[in-house]
């Protein structure tokens, strides 16, 4: 995982489904190339292989259900993500919470397969627990700010600074990134100044009139970092 | 949904992941064309859009998580399945059980979007409840036979006949199909003779040395029906 | 299950926890005796055995997690409910949704043990599916009205009449009861006039200044029915 | 929580249900008094209030479902546990896994209410994450040994020593206890020698011909510690 990073999560948004998934992924690829910034896209599961074989930037799965492949209908195993051509996975997003024990196994398996691993957490204390599992990064996102346009880096900066403090004290190899409500380049700059190494965004890009322009705005502070 | 039907479920098998997903889907497409049989494939979520835009036969999702699209990380909504180009969905497989209330909403939404809907059930009584929700078909599969090579149509024929009896008495518009342990063309013939309108298979095809030949063997009895 | 019935669900309300659980149960017992009405109480799991051995009226569990007892920490099996002295169980409340397949097994096991079984459903179609599983009663409760004080029997009477119509057409042995927003004796009378055989209430009793008086108000229409 | 401690988990065993719950709890109370040892019992949810008001030793809930009480049918909130008279809670047992984010909130709420909190984990790495959440103790139990009679302290001692090493390095206020397969006093002695401060047992006591004698055998090494 190249840091600092911008991760664009498509969630299950209609605005990022079907053909739109490819369009937004290509916009991110173009922005990454032009800015020299590290940008990853996380399409919905159903477009994962299609996007992974269509762009050169890192493609992350939005989650996973099981550590092992096999007779598991409607499950996406870590191995399936790898086979689909993705290079990373986001785990435990607040919209897709995972049992602690499952999460622990998924992190291990994803690292064995060489995938980038981001584990989300809603607050600093839970972020510390997530970091203990050994992912590349923890993404601390207060759920009450997700999708609101009120950026965590402005409305709850203490959550970020406390997360950075706790995680760096105990598990210094784990990067802290953040998200929730991030809408502008200034929000990203503020997040970096608070000590994070990246940002997770969704609606700001997916619902933008011009996703490419929005990605450029959000990634520019990373390119300068 | 054209009946009788053979549905090939790729589950999360490594043998049907990545490039293999396309290969097996194309083998099914070729068999369907040559036999004039109704064959659908159900790839893992991560290959759904890729497979759907690569073959002409029906492509079904293996499941769904939510009825509405939106801010739902790592969820596959019914609308996402439609946007990915799939034409149907399998719900409530015993490996991906759904809450009754969720299942009810998913069936409704899938039908609104014009998708084929198969609801799985482990026994006749539960199959009757599944049929009450109004899918196109219920697939009755005793979980203890799944993946065993001991076909339900031979080892538990009474489950099938009881399912056909109950469902046709109350909800005659709902087809009964079956699965679990089906390995051979004879197993498929037996299932049809018991009154079902199709078969759901997974390991028999996915783990076959020659998936194309196995699909032809399993679909031939349907083509004659 | 003696019909028509009033079932008082204590949920996880603080107002019905600890010593208050016994007080409300005894108020219900007194009202049942005085009116000659059928009244059951459903305390929180943690007070189930205590309440069951303290009152003579039917005591129902609010739910169950597994059909079989054994090595299942923090699970309440149907057999545990029976062993605790309860005489019935409410399954699939919209606040405690159950997988269809699990629900089917729980209904069967509860009936084997001689427990009264009520299965909840959010709408008429799902109620029909619930009835197919063979409980004594289905309780149709639109979740959007639960706890609102806007009674289903007044605000969505068509949900009740459609439930009664569908269930009685297919599964005439299964009683339809209702709930959601029921606050007054008039709401109960309206529910009975629409063809139901009972009512499920929670906040109206649990949060009443005088639970005994409220139970009497709600049960009186049943006693006359 | 007085350390070292023996915690007897009744799970959903029929052998510890109904009247047997009180008998085993009283046997534990007698053993605690006679040995001067710290012994807690964890009855099934349905007997929690009944046992809590019948014995003087600590009574723990086997789990919890929600941090807040209220309109949550069939949920056991932390506040319900407190109201029932219990003095502690076991969270995230491998048979009752909790989402990381939920677990984090439950630990916080339980500590606010003054309850003893044990969080279970299947291995050392996950135990470290559990310790980060701030419980009084983590109980490391390899699930593959639970109920086998093959004690973790003999068959997987490295899991214990690694847990003690990691947790004491990062979170020295959190005690490490263990369990899984513990059947004899010698198993308990071995666990204490490896650095743990207590043991969690279930089947060894619940299925014993003489639960009192078995509790005495298991608790004696603690009394000497």
Q: What is the number of structural domains in chain B?
A: 1
pLDDT score recorded for residue A66:
84
Catalytic positions of A, written as ranges: 93, 141
Whole-angstrom distance, CA of residue C218 vs CA of residue B135: 39
Query: Are B21 and A69 a contacting pair, CB within 8 Å?
Result: no
Q: Give D2 to chain A, closest Cα distance, Å.
A: 25
Asked if B50's CB is within 8 angstroms of A49's CB, the reply is: yes
From D48, which residue of chain C is nearest by alpha-carbon distance?
C46
D147 CB neighbours in chain C (<8 A) are: 71
Confidence category of residue A172, pLDDT binned at 50, 70, 90: very high
- Number of C–D residue contacts, CB under 8 Å: 164
From A203, which residue of chain B is nearest by alpha-carbon distance?
B71
Facing B9 at nearest CB: one of A13, A66, A73: A73
Q: Which of D9, D11, D44, D79 to mutate to test the interface with C (most CBs of C within 10 A)?
A: D44
CA distances from C165 to A25, B125, C141, D158, D164 (A): 51, 21, 16, 64, 63
Asked if B69's CB is within 8 angstroms of A17's CB, the reply is: yes
Confidence category of residue C192, pLDDT binned at 50, 70, 90: very high
Q: How far is CA C85 from the centre of its chain?
A: 17
Whole-angstrom distance, CA of residue A187 vs CA of residue A189: 5
pLDDT over 80 at D224, yes or no: no
From C73, which residue of chain D is nearest by alpha-carbon distance?
D11
Structure tokens at A96: 């897709």
**Within a 10 A sphere around the Cβ of D41, how many other Cβ atoms?**
29
pLDDT mean across residues, chain C = 95
Q: Which of A150, A88, A167, A135 is nearest to D125 (CA)?
A: A135
Facing B93 at nearest CB: one of A50, A53, A73: A73
When computed from its CA atoms, the radius of gyration of chain B, rounded to whole angstroms, is 16
pLDDT mean across residues, chain A = 95
Q: Give C68 to chain D, closest Cα distance, Å.
A: 9
The length of chain A, given as a count of residues: 225
Whole-angstrom distance, CA of residue B68 vs CA of residue C218: 38
Q: Which of B45, B59, B118, B146 to mutate to test the interface with A (most CBs of A within 10 A)?
A: B45
Q: Give D120 to chain A, closest Cα distance, Å.
A: 10
Query: Are B59 and B48 a contacting pair, CB within 8 Å?
Result: yes
- Angle, nearest 10°, between helix axes A124-132 and A157-170? 30
Cis peptide before A4 (omega within 30 of 0): yes
Q: What are phi and psi of A218, to 5 degrees?
A: -75, -30
pLDDT score recorded for residue C11:
97
Catalytic positions of B, written as ranges: 93, 141
Mean pLDDT, residues D94-110 taken together? 97
- DSSP-derived letter for residue D144 is G
pLDDT over 80 at D225, yes or no: no
Confidence category of residue A147, pLDDT binned at 50, 70, 90: confident
Facing A80 at nearest CB: one of B46, B72, B75: B46
CA distances from B17 to A20, B12, B46, B73, B145 (A): 24, 7, 9, 22, 24
What is the value of pTM for the model shown? 0.96
Asked if C17's CB is within 8 angstroms of D83's CB, the reply is: yes
The neighbours of chain A, by the rule of 3 or more Cβ pairs under 8 Å, are: B, D
Beta-strand pair C88-91/C60-61: parallel
Query: Are A116 and A96 a contacting pair, CB within 8 Å?
Result: no
Asked if D81's CB is within 8 angstroms of C96's CB, the reply is: no
Mean pLDDT, residues A196-224 taken together? 95
Burial call C110-139: b when 16+ CB within 10 Å, e when fewer: bbeeebbbbbbbbbbbbbbbbbbbbbbbbb
What ipTM is given for this predicted complex?
Answer: 0.95
Residue with tokens 């701030």: D134
Q: D66 pairs with which residues across the strands?
A: D77
Whole-angstrom distance, CA of residue A104 vs CA of residue A109: 9
- Say which residue, B63 or B149, is predicted with more confidence: B63
Q: Give C28 to chain B, closest Cα distance, Å.
A: 31
Whole-angstrom distance, CA of residue A10 vs CA of residue B70: 9
Query: Are B93 and B142 a contacting pair, CB within 8 Å?
Result: no
Q: Give A216 to chain D, closest Cα distance, Å.
A: 33
Residue with tokens 């049918």: D73
- DSSP-derived letter for residue D93 is -
Whole-angstrom distance, CA of residue A31 vs CA of residue D20: 68
Confidence category of residue B88, pLDDT binned at 50, 70, 90: very high
CA distances from B11 to A67, B15, B43 (A): 14, 10, 7
Give the domain CATH number at A196: 3.20.20.70
C61 CB neighbours in chain D (<8 A) are: 46, 74
Catalytic positions of C, written as ranges: 93, 141
CA distances from D175 to D3, D91, D169 (A): 9, 15, 12
A18 CB neighbours in chain B (<8 A) are: 49, 83-85
Confidence category of residue B137, pLDDT binned at 50, 70, 90: very high
pLDDT score recorded for residue A140:
94
pLDDT score recorded for residue C164:
96
Q: What are phi and psi of B110, to 5 degrees?
A: -65, -40
Touch B-A: 3+ C-beta pairs under 8 A: yes
Facing C134 at nearest CB: one of B104, B125, B132: B125
The 3-state DSSP class for residue A67 equals: coil
C119 sits in the region (left: phi over 0; alpha: psi -120 to 50; else beta) called beta
Cis peptide before C4 (omega within 30 of 0): yes
pLDDT mean across residues, chain D = 95
Asked if C50's CB is within 8 angstroms of D45's CB, the reply is: no
Asked if B44's CB is within 8 angstroms of A46's CB, the reply is: no
- pLDDT digits over B151-203, tens only? 877 888 899 999 999 999 999 999 999 987 889 999 999 999 999 999 999 99
Mean pLDDT, residues D110-120 taken together? 98
H/E stretch holding A19: helix A19-35
D71 CB neighbours in chain C (<8 A) are: 11-13, 95, 146-147, 202-203
pLDDT score recorded for residue A67:
85
Whole-angstrom distance, CA of residue D212 vs CA of residue D31: 7
Mean pLDDT, residues C111-140 taken together? 97
Confidence category of residue C156, pLDDT binned at 50, 70, 90: confident
Mean pLDDT, residues D185-206 taken together? 94
- Say which residue, B145 or C164, is predicted with more confidence: C164
pLDDT over 90 at C163, yes or no: yes
Q: How far is CA A216 from the centre of its chain?
A: 17
pLDDT score recorded for residue B196:
95
Confidence category of residue D191, pLDDT binned at 50, 70, 90: very high
From D100, which residue of chain A is nearest by alpha-carbon distance?
A100
Residue-number span of the structural domain to which B210 is assigned: 5-224
The CA dihedral of B193, B199, B203, B204, to the nearest 10 degrees, is 40
- pLDDT digits over D2-31, tens only? 999 999 999 999 999 999 999 999 999 999
Please give the share of chain B, as a percent, with pLDDT higher than 70: 100
pLDDT score recorded for residue A176:
97
Asked if D129's CB is within 8 angstroms of A133's CB, the reply is: yes
pLDDT over 90 at A161, yes or no: yes
pLDDT score recorded for residue B208:
96
pLDDT score recorded for residue B142:
85
Touch D-A: 3+ C-beta pairs under 8 A: yes
Whole-angstrom distance, CA of residue C19 vs CA of residue D83: 8
pLDDT over 90 at A179, yes or no: no
pLDDT over 80 at A224, yes or no: no
Mean pLDDT, residues D127-132 taken together? 98
Catalytic positions of D, written as ranges: 93, 141
H/E stretch holding C8: strand C5-9
pLDDT over 80 at B225, yes or no: no
Touch D-B: 3+ C-beta pairs under 8 A: no
Asked if B12's CB is within 8 angstroms of A75's CB, the reply is: yes
- pLDDT digits over D160-173, tens only? 999 999 999 999 99
Residue with tokens 């799944």: B146
Structure tokens at C53: 């051995």
pLDDT score recorded for residue D192:
94
Q: Which of A132, A140, A143, A144 to mutate to test the interface with D (most CBs of D within 10 A)?
A: A132
pLDDT score recorded for residue A148:
82
H/E stretch holding B139: strand B137-140
Q: Give C125 to chain B, closest Cα distance, Å.
A: 6
From B171, which residue of chain C is nearest by alpha-carbon distance?
C170
Confidence category of residue C145, pLDDT binned at 50, 70, 90: confident
From B148, which residue of chain A is nearest by alpha-carbon distance?
A71
Asked if A100's CB is within 8 angstroms of D97's CB, the reply is: yes
Q: Which of B14, B18, B85 is nearest to B54 (CA)?
A: B85
Confidence category of residue C205, pLDDT binned at 50, 70, 90: very high
Q: D77 pairs with which residues across the strands?
A: D66
Residue with tokens 């939404």: B109
Structure tokens at C137: 């009663």
Q: Which of C118, C107, C198 is nearest to C160 (CA)?
A: C198
pLDDT over 80 at C224, yes or no: no
- pLDDT digits over A6-26, tens only? 999 999 999 999 999 999 999
Confidence category of residue B5, pLDDT binned at 50, 70, 90: very high
- Say which residue, D7 or C158, is predicted with more confidence: D7
pLDDT mean across residues, chain B = 95
pLDDT over 90 at C151, yes or no: no
Query: Are B53 and B29 a contacting pair, CB within 8 Å?
Result: no
Which residues touch C14 (CB under 8 Å, ≥6 apart)?
D69, D70, D79, D83
**Within a 10 A sphere around the Cβ of D34, how many other Cβ atoms?**
12
CA atoms lying within 13 Å on the CB side of residue C205: 34
- DSSP-derived letter for residue B47 is G
Cis peptide before D4 (omega within 30 of 0): yes
Asked if C129's CB is within 8 angstroms of B100's CB, the reply is: yes
- pLDDT digits over B31-87, tens only? 999 999 999 999 999 999 999 999 999 999 999 998 899 999 999 999 999 999 999
Confidence category of residue C89, pLDDT binned at 50, 70, 90: very high
CA distances from C41 to C2, C61, C89, D89 (A): 13, 9, 10, 26
Q: Which of B65, B95, B100 to mutate to test the interface with C (most CBs of C within 10 A)?
A: B100
H/E stretch holding C157: helix C157-170
Beta-strand pair C38-42/C5-9: parallel
Whole-angstrom distance, CA of residue C101 vs CA of residue C84: 25
Query: Are B129 and C133 a contacting pair, CB within 8 Å?
Result: yes
Q: What are phi and psi of D29, to 5 degrees?
A: -60, -45
pLDDT score recorded for residue D149:
78
């Amino acid at each position: 995982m190249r840091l600092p990073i911008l991760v664009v999560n498509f969630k299950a948004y209609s605005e990022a489904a079907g053909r739109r998934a490819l369009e937004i992924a290509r916009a991110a690829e173009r922005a990454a190339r032009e800015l020299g910034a590290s940008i990853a896209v996380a399409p919905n599961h159903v477009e994962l292989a299609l996007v992974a074989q269509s762009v050169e930037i890192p493609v992350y799965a939005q989650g996973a259900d099981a550590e092992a492949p096999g007779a598991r209908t409607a499950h996406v195993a870590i191995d399936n993500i790898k086979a689909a051509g993705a290079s990373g996975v986001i785990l435990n997003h607040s919209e897709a919470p995972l049992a602690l024990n499952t999460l622990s196994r998924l992190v291990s398996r994803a690292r064995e397969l060489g995938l980038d691993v981001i584990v989300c957490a809603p607050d600093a204390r839970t972020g510390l627990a997530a970091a203990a599992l050994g992912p590349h990064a923890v993404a601390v996102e207060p759920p009450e700010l997700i999708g609101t346009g009120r950026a965590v880096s402005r409305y709850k900066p203490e959550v970020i600074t406390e997360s950075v403090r706790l995680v760096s004290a105990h598990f210094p190899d784990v990067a802290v990134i953040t998200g929730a409500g991030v809408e502008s380049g200034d929000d990203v700059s503020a997040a970096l100044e608070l000590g994070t190494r990246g940002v997770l965004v969704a609606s700001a890009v997916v619902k933008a009139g011009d996703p490419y322009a929005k990605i450029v705005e959000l990634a520019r502070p990373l390119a300068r970092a």
